Amino acid sequence: MQVFRAAAYWAEPRGPLAGADRNLGVGCVLLRSSDLKCSTFRELTLRTSRRRCGRITLAMLAMMALAAPAAADAASVSVTGDDGNPIAVAPGAPPTIRNMRPDVGVAFPPGDGRYKITITNAAGNAVNNATSCRSRSLLGPYTVEYTGNGAYVVTITNFAANDFNCVTPQTTETFGFFIAASTAVTAPATHLLRAPGSFATNPLAVSVAQNPGASSLEVRFAPFATIGPDGAIAGNSTRTIADSATGVAQLRFDGPGVYTVVARPTRFSSAGEVGGPWSAPVRVVVLAPFDISGGLQFLDSRGPSYSVRIQLREKSARGRVSVALARGSRGGKYRSLGSAKISSLGTVTKRFRARRAGAYRLRFSYRGAQSILGGRAVFPIRIRRTISFG
């Protein structure tokens, strides 16, 4: 014996029973193409016994169909989550996703009908091609065009199955979700621009957090930069793109300094490239080594007073350099000769006295600055009547 749940269709009592308890109404379930099984709503199950129910006319069937609750025709909506799988969107409970290219899925209960769907952003602008009047058998999915972070609204308008031009709406349903795309930069606090004595610069690899659905991860950096109200670097900056597979961006710097690095996810749309919000700024101190270009120069090689000059490879270095002299090619205690100021051209010039002939070592020491590493350079010299290289 088959058991059915009580039908949702019912007829009010008539005649002598008018005004009686609604539970005396009759509920029916269609068992075959022409048979209905009926009972009062006090009964929760129906048994297949023709003696307890009679036939019902097609006119009554149409009347009961019109009395069906609107919830029976309610649409179900989903949106692509950050892991690529659809998540349900409940009316009045919009989920938040980071996905910049979500698809909206629609489903309906069994039955005929037609519908229209529109998806808009917070400004009310359409972010997908609004569908024409569609059968419920055509369910999408519908791709959302990212126009920025914020609220997105899905509106479904339902029409009768025979309303082929969707002229007379029956019900309207509204769903919503939020997109909150974001990224972050991870970088070391300091970076060595190049190895001492080398002209080749060292690139810096920074990690940029990936965002689902992003077309690219844009990275910008600049020395001694300021951040504007929108989170971007104000003024000129260098642009690069992080690797789409690894999220790693290679930064190449023109010189030492304190660099600011920001990034954002972007998405290509019909209006061009649309960027998400900029990440929190990350600052990297790019350091140049203290090294010498061209060796030691002798401006005055006639003793006992001698004048020498060195040219720093990093011409932006500023401050003073300490100079010391020691006897012998190795060992021997250094004697301070004082210090010399680094010129605007990155040169250091020093005069010193040495009365005795023999081998010496001349040392230049730099304590370092904001973007220049401290270091030392030692030059062996030999004093005769004139100075020559040892």
The Cα–Cα gap between 22 and 42 comes to 10
Which domain covers residue 235, as residue numbers? 185-287
Q: Are residues 196 and 283 in the same domain?
A: yes
Q: Are residues 138 and 78 in the same domain?
A: yes
Q: Say how many domains are in the chain.
A: 4
Percentage of residues of the chain with pLDDT beyond 90: 68
Query: DSSP H helical segments within the chain, as ranges?
Result: 58-66
CATH of residue 240: 2.60.40.10
Strand-pairing partners, residue 307, are: 300, 351
Q: Are residues 228 and 245 in the same domain?
A: yes
The Cα–Cα gap between 361 and 326 comes to 5
Last residue of a domain, one of 267, 287, 307: 287
Record the tokens describing residue 178, joined without a space.
Answer: 């939020």
CB atoms within 10 A of CB 143: 15
Q: Are residues 273 and 254 in the same domain?
A: yes
Record the tokens describing residue 29, joined without a space.
Answer: 């379930």
Residue 234 has pLDDT above 70, yes or no: yes
How many residues appear in the chain?
Answer: 390
Q: Are residues 175 and 79 in the same domain?
A: yes
| Poorest-pLDDT segment among 138-147, 203-212, 244-253, 379-388 | 379-388
Q: Are residues 42 and 98 in the same domain?
A: no
Rg (CA), the chain: 41
Q: Are residues 77 and 161 in the same domain?
A: yes
Number of H helices, E strands in the chain: 1, 31
Residue-level pLDDT at 385 = 64
Q: Are residues 161 and 200 in the same domain?
A: no
Which pLDDT band, with edges at 50, 70 and 90, does 388 fall under?
Answer: low
In the three-class reduction of DSSP (H, G, I as helix; E, B as strand; rest coil), residue 62 is classed as helix
pLDDT digits (tens, 9 = 90+) for 190-209: 999 999 988 899 999 999 99
Strand-pairing partners, residue 364, are: 323, 377
In the three-class reduction of DSSP (H, G, I as helix; E, B as strand; rest coil), residue 258 is classed as strand
The Cα–Cα gap between 77 and 174 comes to 10
CATH of residue 148: 2.60.40
Q: Are residues 80 and 135 in the same domain?
A: yes
pLDDT digits (tens, 9 = 90+) for 237-296: 999 999 999 999 999 999 999 999 999 999 998 878 999 999 999 999 999 999 999 899
- ∠ Cα 276 94 79 (to 5°): 70
Would you say 348 and 364 are in contact if contact means Cβ atoms under 8 Å apart?
A: yes
Strands 96-97 and 171-179: parallel
Mean pLDDT of the chain: 83
Q: Are residues 122 and 136 in the same domain?
A: yes
Strands 3-5 and 45-47: antiparallel
- ∠ Cα 88 89 90 (to 5°): 115
State the DSSP string of 286-340.
Answer: EEB---EEEEEEEEE-BSSEEEEEEEES-TT--SEEEEEEEESSS----EEEEEE
Residue 126 has pLDDT above 80, yes or no: yes
Residue-level pLDDT at 156 = 95
Q: Are residues 90 and 174 in the same domain?
A: yes
Last residue of a domain, one of 68, 90, 110: 68
Which helix (H) or strand (E) covers residue 376, if one does?
Answer: strand 375-383
Residue-level pLDDT at 386 = 54
Residue 48 has pLDDT above 70, yes or no: no
Q: Are residues 317 and 367 in the same domain?
A: yes
Residue-level pLDDT at 130 = 75
| pTM for this prediction | 0.73
